[in-house]
């Protein structure tokens, strides 16, 4: 007899059973007209487990203060933020000194783009792609307008849902200062080889800025293996609150000419975190990483994260294959993006002939 995923007590990589995971999410107990609610709004983000809610409530109720002052709740806030930074260091496979918190991915990217742009001017170029979310395109276009830079946009193949790699190789030249690229498309699910893109950029003396907002929810993160200079993600895509987290190589973070108020710290990574941060959001973001790590066994948090994300991806790929094949059997339905078995996330975009998306 074939068992379903929900019936399997322990899945691959010692991942918790589906029902054991679902039980941690209060939102999944919600009913509408007596029926269970299904959440299909991927761009809207994920629901959150009780542990994330508890971590944020505990911080607000018992430790709420600003940082770096000589009284208990301030010291406790410093410790809570340091713990969240350590969690994301394991999540990224980086160091805590390379983890920056912000309001969201878009705001962080605008902030970094303006700081980088202080060094660039007419004759310099930035490469973006048509497969990317606008959050990794618009900040660079705005910078180009402000600084007189040239933007080169690389198309993607509508049939395969993948970047036209030959076009990318032609676009990145000695004039390129930065390549902005997505690790995975939130619209089509396409996964792009960040390592190959970073190597292409570095071979031409350019930096590589990676949007991993969609990727982070589905794949193991490893900035060392990716060889990127920057990588940004949004915890609300992987069971956390609305916030943004940025990885930046320490030497770049130390050298970047960032705008900040006079008393602000010039030490990394806080030199990029302008003003009072969303402390409860940072604590909740760290709790989301801890939640992911709790789904699998391992000797270290990093090992647990690798096993958890690998196992979740395997489950997602199985469900995606079933969904893709089921949709493909319906007359008038067309699926977009890479087919099952290719490098992709379990995200489906489809159209129904004669039916408007709304």
Under the banding of pLDDT at 50, 70 and 90, the label for residue 42 is confident
Per-residue pLDDT band for 7 (boundaries 50, 70, 90) equals very low
pLDDT of the residue at 128:
98
CATH 3.40.640.10 domain residues, the chain: 53-290
pLDDT surpassing 60 at residue 99: yes
Closest to 309 (Cα-Cα) out of 243, 212, 242? 212
204 in Cβ contact with 61 (< 8 Å): no
- Give the model's pLDDT for residue 8: 37
- Select the more confidently predicted residue: 3 or 88: 88
Q: What is the predicted pLDDT for the residue at 37? A: 87
Q: What is the mean pLDDT of the chain?
A: 93
The whole-angstrom separation of Cα 354 and Cα 300 is: 52
- What is residue 6's predicted lDDT score, i.e. its pLDDT? 35
Which band of pLDDT confidence, cut at 50, 70 and 90, is reported for residue 73?
very high
Two tokens at 28?
């999944």
| CA atoms of 311 and 12, how far apart (whole Å) | 6
Tell me the DSSP string of 120-137.
--TT-EEEEETTS-GGGT
Nearest Cα residue to 229 out of 82, 87, 112 = 112
% the chain with pLDDT above 90: 87
Q: Tokens representing 128? A: 């973006």
Report pLDDT digits (tens) over 124-136. Answer: 999 999 999 999 9
| pLDDT for the residue numbered 40 | 79
Assign domain 53-290 to a CATH class: alpha beta
CB 197 within 8 A of CB 178: no
| 8 A C-beta contact, residue 162 and residue 192 | yes
**pLDDT of res. 9:** 39
Q: What is the model's pLDDT at position 29?
A: 92
**pLDDT tens sequence across 230-244:** 999 999 999 999 999
Assess whether pLDDT exceeds 90 at residue 43. Answer: no
Q: Flag whether pLDDT at 1 surpasses 70.
A: no
Q: Give the pLDDT confidence score for residue 11 in this predicted structure.
A: 45
Separation between Cα atoms, residue 112 and residue 150, nearest integer Å: 18
Question: What average pLDDT does the segment 311-320 reach?
Answer: 94
Q: In terms of residues, how long is the chain?
A: 358
Residue 3: pLDDT band (50, 70, 90) is very low
3-state secondary structure of 215: helix
Nearest Cα residue to 11 out of 288, 294, 322, 310: 310
* pLDDT > 70 fraction of the chain, expressed in percent and rounded: 96
pLDDT higher than threshold 60 for residue 293: yes
How would residue 5 be classed by pLDDT, with cut points 50, 70 and 90? Answer: very low
Q: What confidence category does residue 12 fall into, taking pLDDT thresholds of 50, 70 and 90?
A: low
pLDDT, one tens digit per residue, over 318-339 is 999 999 999 999 999 999 999 9
- The tally of CA atoms less than 13 A away on the side-chain side of residue 198 is 18
- Give the pLDDT of residue 4: 35
What pTM value is reported for the model?
Answer: 0.93
pLDDT at 260: 81
End-to-end Cα spacing for the chain: 41
Q: Residue 197 above 70 pLDDT?
A: yes
User: For residue 10, what pLDDT band results from cuts at 50, 70 and 90?
Assistant: very low
Q: What is the pLDDT of residues 201-211, one digit of tens each?
A: 999 999 999 99
Residue 26 confidence (pLDDT):
95
DSSP 30: -
């Amino acid at each position: 007899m074939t068992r379903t995923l929900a019936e399997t007590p322990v899945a691959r990589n010692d991942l918790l059973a589906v029902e054991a995971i679902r039980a941690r999410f209060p939102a999944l107990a919600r009913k509408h007209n007596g029926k269970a609610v299904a959440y299909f709004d991927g761009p809207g983000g994920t629901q959150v487990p009780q542990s994330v809610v508890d971590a944020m409530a505990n911080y607000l109720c018992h430790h709420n203060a600003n940082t770096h002052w000589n009284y208990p709740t301030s010291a406790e806030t410093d410790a809570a933020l340091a713990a969240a930074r350590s969690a994301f260091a394991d999540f990224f496979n980086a160091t805590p000194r390379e983890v920056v918190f912000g309001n969201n991915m878009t705001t962080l990217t605008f902030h970094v783009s303006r700081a980088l742009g202080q060094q660039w001017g007419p004759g310099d170029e930035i490469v973006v792609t048509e497969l990317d979310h606008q959050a990794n395109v618009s900040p660079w276009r705005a910078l180009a307008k402000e600084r007189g830079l040239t933007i080169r946009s690389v198309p993607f193949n509508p049939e395969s849902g993948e970047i036209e790699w030959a076009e990318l190789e032609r676009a990145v030249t000695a004039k390129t200062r930065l390549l902005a690229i997505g690790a995975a498309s939130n619209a089509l699910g396409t996964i792009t080889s960040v390592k190959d893109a970073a190597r292409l950029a570095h071979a031409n003396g350019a930096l590589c800025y990676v949007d991993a907002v969609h990727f982070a929810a589905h794949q193991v993160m490893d900035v060392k293996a990716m060889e990127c200079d920057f990588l940004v993600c949004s915890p609300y895509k992987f069971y956390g609150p609305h916030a943004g987290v940025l990885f930046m190589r320490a030497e770049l973070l130390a050298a970047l000419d960032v705008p900040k108020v006079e008393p602000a710290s010039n030490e990394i990574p806080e030199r990029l975190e302008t003003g009072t941060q969303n402390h409860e959001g940072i604590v909740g973001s760290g709790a989301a990483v801890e939640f992911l790590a709790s789904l699998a066994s391992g000797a270290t948090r990093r090992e647990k994260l690798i096993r958890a994300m690998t196992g979740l991806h395997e489950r997602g790929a199985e469900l995606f294959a079933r969904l893709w094949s089921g949709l493909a059997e319906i007359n008038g339905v067309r699926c977009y993006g890479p087919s099952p078995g290719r490098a992709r996330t379990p995200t489906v975009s489809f159209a129904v002939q004669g039916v408007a998306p709304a």
